[in-house]
Structure 1
């Protein structure tokens, strides 16, 4: 696909999504009410550029404050929905409802991982947040889609963040050890070939078990910042260059952005590409968010989600990243070296997630 073809595909997705969410026959109460109070974008927003020009930034407080039913498209009315919460914040969490988006997202992602590293039929182990997180169902669906089953070790990221914020580092360490011990037990007693976890937990796990000898051939890693120096440490020391390394960047509101294989020229800088046209990532100027920054320049991450289940225009993520050029099979911009927004100016608590 050329960049021009990718843009045409995205513009078509915008038109279809706008028509769906703002038509009384198919749309959801939230966006139908928005159209009454503000403007009806049907016939007005005909491209992604129009969307950027016409819509302000989506306010995520709507996902905290409003009952989930306001997000149910009329076409889905009467169908029970999943309720997914976002990860590590305190207070009332943001919630996104859904039906099949997570399956579509992860089935698409399946084509981007190697059978050598995640052999079909081989069991997986996820060490991470389950509970109300979309990730639990998504990872299990991905494993099932590839003919595999998945073991789970739960992690409560909110508890970890609370402990670290309160400077209860000894308790946080005990909790981390508790999680790692459970994962170690599974690896020693069950045949597992694939692993999904956070960088810090993977590092701690590798101190307890020789991952390759335990049968691990591929590792999905995501959830916290990975600098190029840390990526190199993970690839060369933790995974010893023998286990497939798959950094991921995703969340409940976006889905999953895949990383491109790291080449020597990257110097261990990881670049992710959104699952366009279902979701779009831009790296924008924090002081003028209508504008993207130049390539290879830092800016704030802006997310737009465009599916029949969920429409979210121009949400400013709590992340910053380097804007990268299209590459390999991706004919659109990527985001690299993702870290919390403002990480260079203030201390950010990430915990183990």
Structure 2
């Protein structure tokens, strides 16, 4: 197993939910102060933010004292991440480190790029702590059945596997090619490409590598289970006991079907909601008791997810009500305040395990849903 990557926040303490909520808020306030000072100090700051601050009507170094002050920042525009030079996002205090570039979006045109040093390792080590060892045993080998190339998932899932003491087997998948096939209406080619991805997964699963855990996306999980059924077997019979699933929308109806028809009681599925900007919002395995509702909780204090009014992004919706997802990322490598995501959902209250707001029912934001292309993954 790999050692912990420095930078993971301390666990929230407290014996009651109310105490844990207070402690989590205090931790977030302190974290906000630390991160804002880092990104806006002349010695350690990020060139993009040092330049942007010249137009602010407030001083980030003096006027940001906690989470509530984040509202002083303008809403983040994703166009700021398209094009270069990408070095403008590297904090001066970390300029001598080795950096990766991960892409997000950009199925057409110039993709959004994010520089990363250790954040993906920290995010996935935090996520690792949420996985039950009974189903995701330490030392187990993994299959990474998802997008590859300049995307965070390949390296991140591989690190998760190595961190837990295993070896990760990966496939090739280019989601940009998938989107082109869909836009051209070449559905036969799309199905062939999905089959190509499942062929790769089947080769790995049947090669005697003792795969116990896997990452995959909802569509690919569905396709893999169908292929196995056609061959008279199941994922459980292939040795898989834990599935980390994410990448696109998961409905309660879909996950209920997967659990009841394909996975059975001996496989744990861990749904996630996340992206290259946020990290991973984790969820416990949905159950019949909760009508298979999936509630995601962001990895505070490194990222905060709010559910805000569709017409006023400064206003939280009441618990149980629908709104747009507003993301704030707070790490020493990357600061993104108040980014309106391409998703909406329902605001959920804190719980003992995650003593801060969550979001359920995540789906494409209704004003742009028709423009969103979801391909093979």
One fold, TM greater than 0.5? Answer: yes
Aligned residues: 352
Q: Indicate whether 1:262 and 2:252 are aligned.
A: no
Q: Aligned partners of 1:289 and 1:344: how far apart in 2?
A: 16
1:128 aligns with 2:146: yes
Whole-angstrom distance in 1 between the partners of 2:195 and 2:333: 39
Q: Distance in 2 between matches of 1:308 and 1:119?
A: 31
Structure-1-length-normalised TM-score: 0.96
User: What are the within-5 Å matches in structure 2 for residues 327-342 of structure 1?
Assistant: 327-342=351-366
Tell me the equivalent position of 2:296. Answer: 272
**Cα drift, residue 91 of structure 1:** 1.2
Residues 1:17 and 2:35 are matched in the alignment = yes
Per-residue displacement from partner, 1:184-242 (whole Å, max 9, x unpaired)?
11111132101111111111111222111111011111112111111101111121232
After superposition, what is the alpha-carbon deviation per residue over 1:152-201, rounded to whole angstroms, capped at 9, x for unaligned? Answer: 01211121122112221111000000100110111111321011111111
Distance 1:332 1:191, change over 3 A: same
Unaligned runs of 5+ in 2: 1-13, 15-19, 229-233
- The aligned counterpart of 1:107 is 125
Query: Counterpart in 1 of 2:157?
Result: 139
Note the 1:1-353 alignment, pairs <5 A: 1=14, 2-38=20-56, 39-52=58-71, 54-87=72-105, 89-189=107-207, 190-209=209-228, 210-342=234-366, 346=370, 348-353=372-377
What does the per-residue CA deviation read over 1:31-86, in whole Å, with 9 as the maximum and x for residues that have no partner? 1111223243111011111112x111101111103311101111111323110111
Over the residues paired in the alignment, what is the CA RMSD in angstroms?
Answer: 1.5
CA contact (8 A) 1:187 1:214 kept: yes
Aligned to 2:62, the other structure's residue is in SS state: coil
Q: Distance in 2 between matches of 1:277 and 1:232?
A: 31
SS in 1 for 2:61: coil
**Which sits farther off after the overlay, 310-319 or 229-238?**
229-238
Provide the rounded CA distance (Å) in 2 between the counterparts of 1:121 and 1:291.
45
CA shift for structure 1 position 347: 6.3
Mean Cα deviation higher: 118-127 or 38-47: 38-47
Separation of aligned partners in 2, 1:88 and 1:227: 25
